[in-house]
């Protein structure tokens, strides 16, 4: 017997939702006794483009917030995990599935969705926009990239979700290697600093010499022995991320 007085059942899960309902009734559970919230996933898809941090948004086609831009997402299906749902939504919007993604936060304000009580679990996905061909799903009117620093009016509480995202991303730069997810396998120190500066924004300027000294001293980089021309300057040394440094 569970804490709320409902008899627990340890048998095999039914094949469909209707079977769940029937079995629940048979075991003394009244489906109408409690209201239950719905659960969605929202996937914040970020990419660096032309020195700007951009997010992929979809334009809603239906009520509520018809015509507003929103973070891609949707209701989870009964037989999928949260991550499976997030990866499904990611694939539907971008055509890719196996890229860097992590769970961000859960947003559950009772009034965040006018349709019903909806709790959403937000995920963060970092992608190379040059490898993507985003297309609007059936329930979206359009899809496009927007600067995280110049966003259009957003649906639901998605402005709060994106505000949390940028704060979380900036914080993780200090103690993780998340910034390397935006780079190719081989990169220059200038390209790495550009990633950090773009995420940190104009409010915090990075000193070139101090940044390079600090990042090299961590041992997280290893030189490739190769060089790359950057403008009219002498060739810049190419580095790669050293995974052993995290071990």
Report how many domains make up the chain: 2
- Does 29 map to a domain? no
- Does 133 map to a domain? yes
The reported pTM is 0.82
Domain identity same for 224 and 149:
no
CA distance 118 to 100: 26
Coil, strand, or helix at residue 228? strand
Instruction: Copy the structure tokens of residue 202.
Output: 């104009």
C-alpha distances (whole Å) from 13 to each of 1, 9, 34, 154, 235 are 18, 9, 22, 39, 62
- Does 19 map to a domain? no
Domain identity same for 86 and 147:
yes
- Does 8 map to a domain? no
Instruction: State whether the Cα torsion 103-106-111-114 is positive or negative.
Output: positive
CA 147 to chain CA mean position, Å = 15
- Does 148 map to a domain? yes
pLDDT band at 188 (very low <50, low <70, confident <90, very high): very high
Q: What pLDDT score was predicted for residue 33?
A: 65
CA distance 234 to 62: 54
Q: What is the pLDDT of residues 164-173, one digit of tens each?
A: 999 999 999 9
Of the residues 147, 171, 195, which one is the last residue of a structural domain? 171
Domain of 193: which CATH number? 1.10.10.10
Domain identity same for 91 and 146:
yes
Domain identity same for 103 and 191:
no
**Comparison of pLDDT for 12 and 69, the residue scoring more:** 69
Round the average pLDDT of the chain to a whole number and report it: 86
CA distance 136 to 209: 44
Domain identity same for 222 and 145:
no
Domain identity same for 195 and 162:
no
Token pair 């899960």 is at which residue?
A: 13
The candidate with the shortest Cα–Cα distance to 45, out of 62, 60, 61, 58, is: 58
Q: What is the pLDDT of residues 106-115, one digit of tens each?
A: 999 999 999 9
Q: What pLDDT score was predicted for residue 18?
A: 56
Segments forming the whole domain that contains residue 212: 183-246
The pLDDT of residue 17 is above 60: no
CB 130 within 8 A of CB 39: no
- Does 10 map to a domain? no
Domain identity same for 106 and 198:
no
Q: Which range has highest mean pLDDT (131-135, 136-140, 188-192)?
A: 188-192
Q: What is the 3-state secondary structure (H, E, C) of 69-135?
A: EECCEEECCCCCCHHHHHHHHHHHHHCCCCCCEEEEEEECCCCCCCCCCEEEEEEEEECCHHHCCCC
CA distance 235 to 209: 17
The candidate with the shortest Cα–Cα distance to 102, out of 178, 48, 154, 197, is: 178
Domain identity same for 158 and 209:
no
CA distance 196 to 187: 13
Domain identity same for 110 and 197:
no
Domain identity same for 83 and 158:
yes
Q: What pLDDT score was predicted for residue 13?
A: 43
Q: What pLDDT score was predicted for residue 128?
A: 82
pLDDT > 70: what percent of the chain? 84
- Does 12 map to a domain? no
Least confident of 27-31, 53-57, 212-216, 221-225: 27-31
- Does 109 map to a domain? yes
Domain identity same for 150 and 198:
no
């Amino acid at each position: 017997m569970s804490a709320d007085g409902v008899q627990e059942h340890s048998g095999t899960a039914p094949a469909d939702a209707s079977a769940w309902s029937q079995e629940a009734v048979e075991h003394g559970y009244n489906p109408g006794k409690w209201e239950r919230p719905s659960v969605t996933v929202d996937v914040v898809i970020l990419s660096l483009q032309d020195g700007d941090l951009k997010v992929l948004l979809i334009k809603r086609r239906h009520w509520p917030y018809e015509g507003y831009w929103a973070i891609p997402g949707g209701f989870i299906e009964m037989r999928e995990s949260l991550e499976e749902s997030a990866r499904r939504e990611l694939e539907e919007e971008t055509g890719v599935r196996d890229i860097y993604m992590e769970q961000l936060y859960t947003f559950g304000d009772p009034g965040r969705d006018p349709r019903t009580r909806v709790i959403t679990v937000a995920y963060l996905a970092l992608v190379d926009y040059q490898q993507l061909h985003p297309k609007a799903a059936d329930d979206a009117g359009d899809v496009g990239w927007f600067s995280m620093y110049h966003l259009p009016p957003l649906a639901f509480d998605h402005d709060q979700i994106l505000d949390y995202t940028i704060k979380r991303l900036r914080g993780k730069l200090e103690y993780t290697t998340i910034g390397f997810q935006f780079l190719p396998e081989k990169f220059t120190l200038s390209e790495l600093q550009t990633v950090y500066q773009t995420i940190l924004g104009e409010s915090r300027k990075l000193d070139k010499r101090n940044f390079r000294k600090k990042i090299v001293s961590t041992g997280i980089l290893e030189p490739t022995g190769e060089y790359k021309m950057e403008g009219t300057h002498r060739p810049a040394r190419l580095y790669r991320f050293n995974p052993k440094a995290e071990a």
